[in-house]
Structure 1
Amino acid sequence: MYIGFDYGTSNCSIAHMLDGQPTPIAVEGDNIYIPSTVSAPTRESVTEHLFRFCNIKPIDQVGESLLRRAIAFNQDEGIELDRRDINFGQAALDHYLQDPQFTYYVKSPKSFLGSMGLRDIQVQFFEDLVCAMMVNIKSQGENQLGQSIDETVIGRPIHFQGRGGNDSDQQAEAILLRAATRAGFKNVEFQFEPVAAGLEYEASLTEDKLVLVVDIGGGTTDCSLLQMGPNWAGKNDRSDSLIAHSGERVGGNDLDIHVAFRQLMPAFGFGSKMVSGLEMPITQFWNPVAINDLPAQTDFYTKENFKALKQLHKDAKDPAKLARLIELHQEILGHGVVRRAEEAKIGLSKQDVFTSTLDFLSHAVDVDINRNDMMEAIESPKTKMMRLVQDALAQGGRKPDVVYMTGGSAKSPILRQAVEEILPGIPLVSGNDFGSVTAGLARWAEVCFR
């Protein structure tokens, strides 16, 4: 049995081919999408969970060392791990929101896989984290289908998030491959996510066209200029149809982060001043919402930084706002701020003003955001996204017949207008924004494994 597997930054989903059509498989209750989140009592519990409850053993000395450390740490902390202690998807988020201080919570692990400078044991931990998520999704799919899933095509961005270029890409893909193999997949192939989305769109074409796929995902924006249509469909070798690619670490999450930083962090003291007249240090307000930047998150939540925040609170002209920042640190609430920013971004696509309620604080705070301020906040990531569109066009040296926009942020009127300004008069079409990549991966799995 083969599937397409979209291991996404925001959500994960899988699909198989049924009667010649990609068919999604429920992976969280009746839902076909599961948020890319994990919660556990401790970081170390993820590794112990794989060994103790999934019968997945380390495959090298680094893995064995990590497992020994994990078990020893949990024993020292008096934690007797139960299978139900590890949660995924919405259950993970719910658990985190109920008890953030004593919950290890990770959103979008895919964002970290290309990070450079990691020690071997850190790379191993990310592999364990991805493997645990894949085991959960694979088992859910097998329960739904009533048969074993042995083969998969996994989607990957043109470039993973990371500053190492090809080295980041190779590291991230290697982590995914090892994790998938340990999770029980016997054959694993990869396909670029925008190409996969294009394969799904191709199924609707009755004549060959030059298609620009613009895939705006949670963590990356990827563009592919592709020859597509009946003469290409079903071919094993598509190399001559792949005209140009561009991709970068900028996606829907970046829009949310910038809205959180510019519009919500002032409630925590951003832009305020100290009694001396100096402004508060910007990094103290950027790092907690930079949820796709592992070093930033690590730096903010250290004990040393807690001391720095307490000093800022003493020096602040508006100490009430800094008290909220200290609460954010102590309760690990950065994800909650970004989540409210995402809600505001969606709301402002339909209305001029949106009130965001920071109700996860001990004393709820309302923040009014207007559309113009939101647009100003996202100008930087939007500009980067549109530069990728222009890069793909420059590489290809010609204009497409049609633009196919997909991904979680593809319906954004701001982004659609920006693409139309680059390519005036070119038809802009959409499909299943959240499911086109998964469907295309299932189609490619059929080509690879049938």
Structure 2
Amino acid sequence: MITGFDFGTSNCAMGVLSSEQNVQLLPIENGKAFMPSTLYALDRDLISEQVALQISSPEEKQAYIEQRRVALNRARRVRDEEGFSPNETSLFVGHDALEEYFAWPGEGYFVKSPKSFLGASGLSDSAIHFFEDIVTAMMMAVKQRSQAITQQEITHTVIGRPVNFQGLNAEKSNEQAINILTRAAKRAGFKGVEFLFEPIGAALSYEQKLTEDKTVLVMDIGGGTTDCAMVRMGPSHRNQEERGQDFIGHTGERIGGNDLDIQLAGQHLMPLFGMLSNLKNGLPMPTQTFWDAVRTNDVGAQSTFNDKTTTALLQQLLRDSSEPDVFKRFIRLRHDKQNNHLVRSAEQTKIALSADINTYVDLGYVEEALGCDISRDQLAQAIDRPLSKMITLMQDAIKQAGTQPDLVYVTGGSGQSPIIRQAIQAALGDIDVLDGDHFGSVASGLTVWAGRIFA
């Protein structure tokens, strides 16, 4: 069976073609088509163990076991030392992963949006192997759930990819990320794997609805990246075998919804933990560690935040702080590994402010009655810098194409924000801005393309 696979930064989705060649997104998560891109394991070494157990190809399994021998030995020791039984569930994905993390934040290993890390610079071989295993485990879960729904083996897929996984050293970063995704997909059991730019996938989805030819600026504002594509599309284009000449401009950078959440968490939630307080000598509290805490999509920041040297630094800052009781919240947040939960609260606040002018952020999981009110204006102020970069990407794609679009098609979860929509309209004037299926258009387009190239 042939599928389109949106292995997204925020959510995963898989689509298939019906017998009438209509796209159907599969309900892979509690009856819904979108599974949060999250994973929780009782111990990080147990991720490799679960991958090894589920690889179906004997040759692939043996090669994997040889390559991961050290990690698999560690996993056996973890099971013995912690008393985990062989039948005990040790790995969770999607909402199950979130529930486990919220229930046991100080235990186990939790990762959100692993796609954000795949193109990171300076990753060691062991780090690359670890991210391969995380991606493989998540792909296996999506594939197994999809096969259970369709009652057919899924063999071929088109996976979406951003224009650039990282801003720096883009070519090398892209190669590294694609290699990780390819190896993971093969281990998950896909026999044929191809990739397609995510904004082009969204364009193919929208094109099915057009009754006349248009030049469309597709703006895909995902969790990890913003990608823009200028595409000629419509009835006279969609059945052509070769579409390269129709894609007349594209830009992309690693800046997306996660970055908006991080800015909101840093500027408006971290002050509750002492970030804007003063030291006893009157100098301002150093802020770098607070920002490291909320930069959950940055390998280096998370490594620094969890390092032993940070433990010593925080103890020194506690002694120097003019508001030690407030600063103790920050130390407790780190000890209980609740920084991902805090960024999740910022994300939920951003979503709420798409509909409401004001909202209350409840941080009672950190401390009873802790929280604050945030307005849409405060959100707009917090995300001004990343939003400006998104608008620049849009303008660069138009400049590259050498023509103005007839309309703008916005997709991706963060594209729902009225703040972003207003910024797009302010930059482009009277050009129509249309909302797509903010979560499903990429998966739908990938499925359309899969049906063409694997048919």
Q: TM-score range with shorter-chain normalisation? A: over 0.9
- Assess if the C-alpha contact under 8 Å between 1:62 and 1:124 holds in 2: no
CA distance in 1, matches of 2:129, 2:270: 34
CA distance in 2, matches of 1:334, 1:39: 15
| Structure 1 SS opposite 2:106 | helix
Deviations 1:415-443 (A, max 9, x none): 11111112111111122111000000000
> In the alignment, what sits opposite 1:292?
297
Say whether 1:448 aligns with 2:453. Answer: yes
> In the alignment, what sits opposite 1:115?
120
What is the one-letter code of the residue matched to 1:25? Answer: L
> In the alignment, what sits opposite 1:84?
89
Identify the match of residue 172 of structure 1 among 173, 177, 196.
177
Say whether 1:50 aligns with 2:51. Answer: yes
> In the alignment, what sits opposite 1:319?
324
Say whether 1:6 aligns with 2:10. Answer: no
Deviations 1:341-393 (A, max 9, x none): 12222222333322111011143402121222221111011011101001101
Residues 337/227 of structure 1: CA separation in 2 closer, same or farther (3 Å cut): same
Residues 279/58 of structure 1: CA separation in 2 closer, same or farther (3 Å cut): farther
> In the alignment, what sits opposite 2:144?
139
Deviations 1:250-281 (A, max 9, x none): 11111111000000000011111110112111
> In the alignment, what sits opposite 1:24?
25
CA distance in 1, matches of 2:87, 2:11: 25
CA distance in 1, matches of 2:258, 2:425: 22
Identify the match of residue 233 of structure 1 among 219, 238, 243.
238
Aligned 1:405-424 pairs, distance under 5 A: 405-424=410-429
Identify the match of residue 396 of structure 1 among 397, 401, 425.
401
| Structure 2 SS opposite 1:133 | helix
Deviations 1:79-107 (A, max 9, x none): 44545110000000100111111121000
- Assess if the C-alpha contact under 8 Å between 2:132 and 2:184 holds in 1: yes
Deviations 1:202-250 (A, max 9, x none): 0011121111100000010000001111122133321111101100011
| Structure 1 SS opposite 2:413 | coil
Aligned 1:43-442 pairs, distance under 5 A: 43-54=44-55, 57=61, 59=63, 62-72=67-77, 74-75=79-80, 78-80=83-85, 82=87, 84-161=89-166, 163-442=168-447
CA distance in 2, matches of 1:81, 1:175: 28
CA distance in 2, matches of 1:58, 1:334: 38
Q: Where in structure 1 are there 5+ consecutive unaligned residues?
A: none
CA distance in 1, matches of 2:7, 2:293: 25
RMSD of aligned alpha carbons:
1.6
CA distance in 1, matches of 2:366, 2:35: 26
- Assess if the C-alpha contact under 8 Å between 1:40 and 1:87 holds in 2: yes
- Assess if the C-alpha contact under 8 Å between 2:361 and 2:371 holds in 1: yes
Q: How many residues align?
A: 450
- Assess if the C-alpha contact under 8 Å between 2:48 and 2:68 holds in 1: no
Structure 1 position 152, deviation (Å): 0.3
What is the one-letter code of the residue matched to 2:411? Answer: T
CA distance in 2, matches of 1:333, 1:223: 34
Say whether 1:41 aligns with 2:46. Answer: no
Residues 429/257 of structure 1: CA separation in 2 closer, same or farther (3 Å cut): same
CA distance in 2, matches of 1:383, 1:449: 39
Deviations 1:152-183 (A, max 9, x none): 00000000136321000010011001100110
- Assess if the C-alpha contact under 8 Å between 2:275 and 2:290 holds in 1: yes
- Assess if the C-alpha contact under 8 Å between 1:58 and 1:67 holds in 2: no
| Structure 1 SS opposite 2:168 | coil
CA distance in 2, matches of 1:58, 1:183: 14
Residues 54/364 of structure 1: CA separation in 2 closer, same or farther (3 Å cut): farther
CA distance in 1, matches of 2:141, 2:306: 29
Superposition TM-score, scaled by structure 2 size: 0.95
| Structure 2 SS opposite 1:355 | strand
Q: Where in structure 2 are there 5+ consecutive unaligned residues?
A: none
Residues 69/237 of structure 1: CA separation in 2 closer, same or farther (3 Å cut): farther
- Assess if the C-alpha contact under 8 Å between 1:62 and 1:120 holds in 2: no
| Structure 2 SS opposite 1:94 | helix
